[in-house]
Amino acid sequence: QQQVRQSPQSLTVWEGETAILNCSYEDSTFDYFPWYWQFPRESPALLIAIRPVSNKKEDGRFTIFFNKREKKLSLHITDSQPGDSATYFCAASGSGGNYKPTFGKGTSLVVHP
Partner 1 sequence: EAAVTQSPRNKVTVTGGNVTLSCRQTNSHNYMYWYRQDTGHGLRLIHYSYGAGNLQIGDVPDGYKATRTTQEDFFLLLELASPSQTSLYFCASSEDRANSDYTFGSGTRLLVI
Span of 10-18, 28-36, 60-68, 77-85 interacting with partner 1 by CB under 8 A: 28-36
Span of 20-28, 56-64, 68-76, 104-112 interacting with partner 1 by CB under 8 A: 104-112
Closest to 29 measured CA to CA, from 101, 98, 100, 103 = 98
Handedness of CA 101, 106, 110, 111 (dihedral sign): negative
Residues that bind partner 1 (CB under 8 A): 31-32, 34, 36, 42-46, 49, 51, 89, 93-95, 99-101, 103-106
